[in-house]
Structures are given as structure tokens and as C-alpha cells.
Amino acid sequence: MQSVAEQRAQFSTMLTRPLPDDVELSATTLGGRPALELRIEAPGTAGTEGATRGGEDVLLYFHGGGFVVGSPRATAHLTVALLRHLDGRAISLDYRLAPEEPFPAAPDDCLAAYLELLESGVDPRRVVIAGDSAGAGLAVVTLLRARDAGSPMPAAAVLFSPWADLTLGGASMRSKVGIDPIFTPTAFEWYSDQYLPDGDRSAPEASPVFADLAGLPPLLIQVGSSELLLDDAVRLAGRAGADEVAVTLEIAPREPHVFQHNDSAEATAALERAGRFLASRLPGDGAPTEAHQA
């Protein structure tokens, strides 16, 4: 098996793409961690929804990579696709990675980033959260921990192929073996061992599919039907619905894990729907809306 350093380099090489000329990138910090801030250069070039709102929207993005690999830059094209529907900026967090920094380092960093946004005066009604794979799981955990701390919720969250069960208990972890073109259960076991070598992997802060999700903001979950994590998404959506959370689950037939990375019509359409979902949950024309409290 490749070393962690080799896996990180390969992940970066495979996923990092050139970004359009109108995207501004700058280094920043949030919650005590490095982060990448992204903006669309010229006013008015954001999506139609964003162009009609006052104030500034903030998208907080958590990248995927099994808690071991990945970076804000490697998934910046996903962040930009969502940002085009908003009127403001995106911040993608470079949270600490395992095995050097195992659980709970990553969720601690994500919560600190969200809380610092609020403490800096950003209106939570203008904040949305998104993430892919492990980052999508971290997004849910961040919402849970912020809720439990009594902090206001953001306006909405988008989750691409969330890894929400570190126990690997979903039926698709077995039924999609040989169908998933990217992963095997052994790979997920290895990532779990790096991230949470000791402790209870069914604890809600590790596996939010087992959490009480009451009080979370509206969720959009997108997943491919061909992936081992299909049932993570399905069960997470079911748990959200049972807990009275507004949730939309989209299952893309014959698509793999985080298929939004692909240059395909389905990927483009899925990102478009996700961006519009986030924009539709934000205040229109600067009109005040009731904050979603935990």
C-alpha cells in the first residue's frame, strides 16, 4: 500500500484542476487553521440568486479524503461551482489530518472555524456549509456540535457522498462491492483505523448517522447508486427526516463516489442543483429572516 505521503500527493494530482480566470484565491486562517478563501472577481458575476441579495453570503467548505488526504485546493472546483450561486465568499478549511492528528482534531477544527465566523459578526442566516465524503460527515458533526453548544444554525448544508458511519455498517458496504469503481471495504477500514484507532466508532461525533439530528438546518444529500457509501447517505437522510429536519436526498443512478468531480452532464447538473438549493435558503434581497436556532 502507498504511504500516506504518496496517497496525499496522488490525491492532489488526480483532483486539482485549474480554476477559471474570474476566481480569486487567497490564503487565510479560520479557527486557528489555514484556509483557502475564494471569491468571484467582478460584482454581478455570481449566480442570478446571489446577484439579487444584499449583504455577503459565506460558504464554509470541508474537503474530503478519508480524514487522511485532501486539501482545500484539491476540491476548490466544487467550492467554486457552489459559490457561483451565492453573493460573497467561500472558505475551505485545511483541518488537521490523521494519522498525525487523529479524531477529534478534525471536528474540533471544523467547529472552531464555524464559531469564529459567528464571533466575527457574520450573520448565521447568510452562512451555508458544504462538504464531500469525509468532509460531508464533518459538516454534519459540526452542525451537531454547534447545536449542542447553543449556537445558531447556518441557513443550509449540502453533503456530497457523506461518510457518516465509521462502523461500516451500511448494507451497501457489502452489496456494492465490485460495483463501486473506486473503493473497497478494506480501504474504508484503513482510513477508519488512521482516523479513530481507539474509541467508539458508533459515537455520534464520529458517525453522525447514529446521532439525533433534530434542530439541524435544511440538508441536501447527493450520492451515487454505485458507491459503497450509498447507505450512509440513505440512512442519514432517513434519520434527518425522522428527526423533523427538512432533507432532500438525490441518488444518481450508476454514479460513483463524489461523482460531482467528473466532467459529465450529471455532475454539472448536480452541482447546479446544489448551488440553487443553498441560494434558495438564503435571505432574498437582504430581507431579514428568522434565525434557525438550535
Query: What is the average pLDDT score of the chain?
Result: 93
Dmax over CA atoms of the chain, in Å, equals 54
Q: Would you state the cell numbers that stand for residue 165, as one nine-digit string?
A: 458511519
Q: Is 133 annotated in the active site?
A: yes
Q: pLDDT (tens digit, 9 = 90+) per residue, 73-125? A: 999 999 999 999 999 999 999 999 999 999 999 999 999 999 999 999 999 99
pLDDT > 90 in the chain, percent: 90
Model confidence at 288, in pLDDT bands (50, 70, 90)? very low
Domain ranges, ordered by start, for the chain:
4-280
Rounded to an integer, what distance in angstroms lies between the CA atom of residue 252 and that of residue 140?
Answer: 21
Angle, vertex CA 139, rays to CA 286 and CA 72, nearest 5: 90
Domain at 4-280, CATH homologous superfamily: Alpha/Beta hydrolase fold, catalytic domain (3.40.50.1820)
Q: What average pLDDT score do residues 237-262 get? A: 98
CA proximity to 107, closest of 160, 79, 148: 148
Cβ atoms of residues 242 and 211 within 8 Å: no
Cell numbers 490564503: residue: 27
| 256 pLDDT above the threshold of 90 | yes
Task: Catalytic residue, from 133, 151, 161, 207: name it.
Answer: 133
Q: pLDDT (tens digit, 9 = 90+) per residue, 15-68? A: 999 999 999 999 999 999 999 999 998 654 444 444 444 469 999 999 999 999
Sign of the C-alpha dihedral computed for residues 52, 269, 12 and 193 taken in this order: positive
What's the pLDDT at 1? 74
Q: What average pLDDT score do residues 258-285 get? A: 94
